[in-house]
Every structure is written in structure tokens, then in C-alpha cells.
């Protein structure tokens, strides 16, 4: 018996309709699925630059690379370099600030990189450029802060090689010395410690959140902003 032409055509149309329905369902599922696309960085983050200074030999401060990668994932531009580059980096930051490409400057250093921070801040201030935030991790030499960032946080190991930062007479800006002795971190591991890294990133995020336009002048004594809350407080501040 020969197949009925109408029946064959009807079956083909029904199959085609089923295939279209399946395709529509798949497309709907894709459209409703969550996306992993990264949100665009805020204007404040895009006009911020974080300079991370490694210590001696450039091999003992690799935790700064991890911090830098996490900040870049948030859309925050970073530069990771050895501490000997602090002067040329200050010139670069000043040029970008004066050209309007940069509004908020943040400095982070470990070991000798932390020791170099006051010098970098002083040069930037001399060039007329304010520093929003500076964070030192276990500065290895006695350091005096004569000119200031809006906020300077020195995280050091009190019973190790690290030193508290001393405030020179007339210092403008807020200085916090944070002693993390007894926390289990050492001079070589402080930059790689997860809690320390979270603290650094939280402080940077808070500084960016406070930036609502061009960075203002360095705060005068007693007028510095309230210390930002940390996502992982490491230890109470000791000045």
C-alpha cells in the first residue's frame, strides 16, 4: 500500500514544529541563565592607581602580585614593581595626575618596599600630588613619616624585624601602626597571608569609596577621615 501523501506531510510538519519548540526552550534557558561577565568598574576605581612595591631581590614579596591580581579583577589599575623604582613611579603618577588621567593614588609596599613608601609620598607631595592611602607591610628599617598620605597604615610584626613608623613633627594625615605579633605571620609571609591580603584590599576599596572627585589636599591634623572598617581586622592599632 502506498503511503497517504497528506498523512506524510502532516507528520513532517508536526516534527518540524516539535523541533522549533525544543529550540525555543533551549534559547529561553540560555537567556535566563546567570552570566559570569564582570561588572564594569566604577569611575572612581578606573581613575585610581595602586602602586605595589616589592622588597629586596624581587622574589620575597610575591604576595603583592596576588593582591594586584585581585584588585585588577575589580577593575582597579595596578603596577607591581621593585622598590628601587619608587622615584620613577612617583614621576609617572604625578604626570598622570596632572593630566587628569588619575585622581586617586594608593601605595602598598612590603619589606624594603614599605621602607620606601615615605620617600615616595614625600616626592609626590613635593610635586603637588596627594596620596590617598599608603600601606606598609613590615618595614625593615626605622622609618619617619615627615609628609603624609591622607591615611598611612603600617602593619608590622612587633617581635620581628619590622618597625613602627614614627610621625615627624607637624605630620599631616593619619598614621596607624598595627602590630600583628602573635598572629602566626612572619616577615616573609606577611604579604602572602590571606587575612592580611583581605585587610589591604578592604582598606583600598574603602579609600576608593571615599573618592568622589579629584583627590583633595592632605588632611590637616585632627581632620583625617575616620578609619575604614576592615573586612578582616588583623590586630588593634598601636601608635
Residue-level pLDDT at 197:
98
Cell of 13: 510538519
Consecutive H or E run containing 138: none
Q: What is the mean pLDDT of residues 125-148?
A: 91
Q: Per the domain annotation, does 239 fall within a domain?
A: no
Domains: count for the chain: 1
Q: Per the domain annotation, does 66 fall within a domain?
A: yes
Read off the pLDDT band of 4 (50, 70, 90): low
Choose between 225 and 160: higher pLDDT.
160
Q: What would the pLDDT profile of 33-44 be if each residue is shown by its tens digit?
A: 333 234 456 788
Q: What would the pLDDT profile of 58-98 be if each residue is shown by its tens digit?
A: 889 999 999 999 999 999 999 999 999 999 999 999 999 99
Q: Per the domain annotation, does 67 fall within a domain?
A: yes
**Burial environment of residue 21 by CB neighbours within 10 A (0 to 12, 13 to 18, 19 or more):** exposed
Cell of 44: 572612581
CATH code, domain carrying 92: 3.40.50.1820
Q: What would the pLDDT profile of 222-235 be if each residue is shown by its tens digit?
A: 333 333 333 333 44
Residue-level pLDDT at 109:
97
Amino acid at each position: 500500500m502506498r503511503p497517504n501523501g497528506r498523512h506524510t506531510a502532516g507528520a513532517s510538519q508536526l516534527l518540524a514544529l516539535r523541533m522549533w519548540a525544543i529550540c525555543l526552550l533551549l534559547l529561553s534557558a540560555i537567556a535566563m541563565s546567570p552570566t559570569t561577565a564582570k561588572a564594569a568598574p566604577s569611575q572612581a576605581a578606573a581613575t585610581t592607581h595602586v602602586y605595589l612595591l616589592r622588597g629586596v631581590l624581587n622574589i620575597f614579596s610575591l604576595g603583592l602580585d596576588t593582591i594586584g591580581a585581585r584588585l585588577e579583577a575589580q577593575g582597579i589599575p595596578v603596577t607591581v614593581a621593585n622598590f628601587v623604582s619608587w622615584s620613577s613611579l612617583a614621576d609617572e603618577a604625578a604626570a598622570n595626575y596632572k593630566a587628569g588621567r588619575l585622581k586617586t593614588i594608593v601605595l602598598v609596599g612590603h619589606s624594603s618596599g614599605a621602607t620606601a613608601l615615605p620617600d615616595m609620598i614625600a616626592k609626590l607631595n613635593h610635586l603637588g600630588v596627594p596620596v590617598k592611602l599608603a600601606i606598609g607591610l613590615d618595614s625593615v628599617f626605622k622609618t619617619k613619616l615627615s609628609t603624609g598620605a591622607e591615611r598611612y597604615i603600617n602593619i608590622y610584626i612587633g617581635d620581628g624585624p619590622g618597625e613602627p613608623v614614627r610621625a615627624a613633627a607637624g605630620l599631616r594625615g593619619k598614621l596607624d601602626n598595627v602590630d600583628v605579633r602573635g598572629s602566626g605571620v612572619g616577615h616573609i609571609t606577611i604579604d602572602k597571608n590571606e587575612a592580611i591580603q583581605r585587610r589591604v584590599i578592604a582598606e583600598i576599596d574603602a579609600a576608593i569609596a571615599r573618592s568622589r572627585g579629584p583627590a583633595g589636599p592632605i588632611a590637616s591634623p585632627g581632620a583625617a577621615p575616620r578609619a575604614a572598617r576592615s573586612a578582616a581586622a588583623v590586630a588593634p592599632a598601636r601608635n
